[in-house]
Amino acid sequence: MPAQPPPERPGAGAEHDWWQTGVVYEIYPRSFADSNGDGIGDLAGITAHLDHLAGQPDSLGVDAVWLSPFYPSPDHDFGYDVADYLGVNPKYGSLADFERLVEGCHRRGMKVVIDLVLNHSSSEHPWFQASRTSRSDPYADWYIWRDSPGRSVTGRRRSPNNWRSWFGGSAWTWDEVRGQFYYHTFLPQQPDLNWRNPAVREALLNVVETWLDRGVDGFRMDVFNVFFKDAQLRSNPRRVGGRGAWSWQRHLHDRNQPELHDLLSQLRSIVDTRPGRMTVGELFDGMLADAAQLIAPRHLVFDFSLIGVPWSAAAFTRTLAARDAVFGTERWPANVLSNHDQPRHASRFAPPGDGAAGSTEGDARAKVAAVLLLTMRGTPFLYYGEEIALRNLSIPKAQAFDPPARRANFLFRWWNRDQARGPMPWRAGPGAGFSAGRPWLPLPSEAATRNVERQAADPDSVLNTYRRLLALRSATPALQVGSQHLVATSDADVLGYVRRAGDDAALVLLNFARRPASIALPKDGSREPWRAAFSTRDRAPGDMLGDEVALAPLEGLVATRA
């Protein structure tokens, strides 16, 4: 039976959808919780920990979970090489386990968003296996095949054009069975599907329909802007500079093609037939302006501009101003500081010498970052472990599972993504509550002291900072759906902005420095004083703020007029 839709949670009002008022929590299933002791996280493990996320007085208080791929896969790219779009990888459980997970989320008032990887499949998918057998097979045109245009002076087969793989080397691989090259934006084990073929389009849109029927509330669309390539497969113009071979081209013909807009309209119309459903797209190798043009009501696009910003109030002020200028007041951002492909921001923002175990200052910065993510305009996406300021693992290249990391060199620079995918530490002791067996990746070195159980018992922990912030956000319409206006501060180390929704307003001040700061509050004509609603430091809620406010070192402050 299809899962029932979840009950509506209190929010800013019925006119706003959950995707605008809520907070989404990304789970990397392989690393969240292992229920059977094989060292690999699974769906039953996630279900067993749903109370951590929502449904209980001491839950984190998120509104939705996003599951990274759990489909059958040979794991050349850990689930992003899909061998069956409608199944569940036995490593993670069964379809019945998925249904129980959806039911458990819905019962707690949480939505379920799943990853859809529709640009490419696994080379072991039956579609590709059929496609490579014959040029006249019914699946022959389901992938992008081309003849070699000839041989080089050294006798090697020349590729159809100069396109590069994101994971290094040519994007074309010769297949001896079919006697042609096939195209892959990523690994050779991830051949790109041919979206220009109507049969492919119908099959993949049927995948969307099927998961909607199974009760999911939304989709994260993997690298959706590369679904279409130039019909003539023209080579990309060369460019000078950049950090590797990928950037030595201007990628005009292998992404962002005009046909994408018609497909997105069709796909989104299918999602829109189901009340309360949404999508969020991963813009691959794109600019902020590209993201803005692809946003639509109920259909978001991740803004990755925040991921590259250093620990600097001035840098974040410039980034938010640039984003506001591009997005305007109508387009709704999808905000992220960390994810499964990027270094964890608790490590990225940490001071020198912070180390894997963290430091007092590192945790203080993580709390300020939490205030930023959960109060700026847009839908926040949290990555599992952020709520305890989990740091990156340290994994030598020789021990890497991440395929591109094993091949990294001077021409192909790559950050080992394993380091951001470590097991979730739930408690102290063997296995850290993650698994009774040997975890697929090593446990964080600080698991005995940095874990959910320990932080839950500490009122001043990063975890309880997130809990209080999420509760404040849920009760404050301005922080959910309000406009955003940057506030000029007299201190370059302080970022400030005001959120407004009708008569509701919230002031956010973030001191990025390890020294105190004094800030004159903005004048807006209101007779009501600002009162502290939340602080990462020792400031009592309800305290009235004067014309100037003294911020403690590394303090994140939210004030309201309630």
Residues assigned a catalytic role: 222, 282
500, 501, 491: which is closest to 549 by C-alpha?
491
DSSP code string of 191-226: PBB-TTSHHHHHHHHHHHHHHHHTT--EEEETTGGG
- What is the DSSP code (8-state) at residue 419? G
B/e letters for 393-405, b = 16+ CB within 10 Å, e = fewer, are bebeeeebbbbbb
Rounded CA separation 355/450 (Å): 13
Helix-helix angle 259-272:198-213, to 10 degrees: 30
Phi then psi for 335, rounded to 5 degrees?
Answer: -100, 140
Is 515 buried (19+), middle (13-18) or exposed (0-12) by CB count in 10 A? exposed
Do 453 and 426 form a contact (C-beta atoms < 8 A)?
Answer: yes
Phi then psi for 277, rounded to 5 degrees?
Answer: -95, 160
215, 335, 201: which is closest to 275 by C-alpha?
215
Is 503 buried (19+), middle (13-18) or exposed (0-12) by CB count in 10 A? exposed
Rounded CA separation 525/520 (Å): 15
Sheet with strand 172-175: strands edge to edge:
145-146, 180-183, 172-175
Rounded CA separation 384/412 (Å): 29
Place of tokens 């009592």: 540
Fill in the amino acid letter for 252.
L
C-alpha angle with apex 123: 122 to 128, nearest 5 degrees? Answer: 105
The residues near 454 (Cβ < 8 Å, ≥ 6 apart) are: 427, 428, 461
Place of tokens 């279409």: 228
Do 362 and 354 form a contact (C-beta atoms < 8 A)?
Answer: yes
The residues near 56 (Cβ < 8 Å, ≥ 6 apart) are: none
Q: E-strand spans in 251-326?
A: 278-281, 299-303
